Amino acid sequence: MSLIIASQLDAEFNRGLGQHPIAPILIDVADEAPWSAAAEADILLVRPSPAWRRPTALRPPAWPGRLKWVYSASAGIDFYPPWLLDAPLVTCGRGVASDEIADYVIAAIYAHAKNLEAITARSRAQWINVPLGRVSGTTIGIVGLGAIGQAVARRGLALGAQVVGLRRTGAQSGVSGVEHVGDIETLVARADHIIVAVPATRQTYHLFNAALLAKVKPGAHIINVARGSVIDQDALIDALDGEGGPGFATLDVTDPEPLPDGHALYTHPGVRLTPHVSSNHMLVRHRLLEKVRNDISRFASGEAPSDIVDPVRGY
């Protein structure tokens, strides 16, 4: 089976893709209009490049052209225009960066609990016995028990924390030791560290609003590795500034990205802001290549590839 693949990824990645046993034909993609490759390709491999967000990214009259399949290198597809999902088949890179993101989450938990920088002694006068926070014995609450949430859960349990989780479908996570709760209000009221790992959809937009933030356990640490739109940022700032609300937030994602100069989240003392780097995506590119190659093998043999996006749910 011969396939023509139009790829937005880098040349090194595409060389690895071209070495697949079915010998696919790789063609270039126009940076300013990657969707135009639909006229001549069977598979369009896309990444969240700026072109997809431009006002000119309107549905092409002939979309999806001759395409059989659109493959998003990212796990989320919220970056792309809705018409992308009109392709016959859309899949995503779910799970490729889950371990890296989970490591970031654990690093954020320890950075907050131990705060080694704040207790570092730089003089004899600072040689003071300072009590440290704990991780073992605390409760980690995970909103969204997909690949990322499960990777966090395994690490949290190994560190001696209690892990409670919530999954929109209600299905069990498959990670032994996770306590599943029935609603998000129960989770945020119990957790010392609240991990946000849900996809960006209409249903999750501002899921963490003023009403929910008011139910968060006093002093809790919120970690968002999902999308900035899941948290109402103005409400979060108000909650951090108020009495009895969350004590700290680690945000790897914001809405928009990047935030404009002067935004309060840059300098808020209760916020650690990182520039959407938790996936460490360049260092896991080999895992994405392996996943794409395996999916091409399945597709070429008539099997369904992995992680098919549901157009109705949006993930």
Q: Which residues are known catalytic residues?
A: 227, 257, 276
Structure tokens at 210: 């003023």
Where is 210: in which H helix or E strand?
helix 210-213
DSSP one-letter code for 308: B
Instruction: Give me the DSSP letters along 33-55.
Output: -GGGGGGT-SEEEE---GGGGST
For 11, what's the count of Cα atoms within 13 Å in the CB-facing half-sphere?
0
Secondary structure E strands in the chain: 4-7, 25-27, 43-46, 69-72, 90-92, 139-143, 162-166, 179-180, 193-196, 221-224, 248-251, 271-273
d(CA 182, CA 190): 13
Which single residue is written with the structure tokens 């997909």? 146
CB atoms within 10 A of CB 214: 15
Q: Which residues in 122-157 are b (16+ Cβ under 10 Å) and which e?
A: eeeeeeeeeeeeebeebbbbbbbbbbbbbbbbbbbb
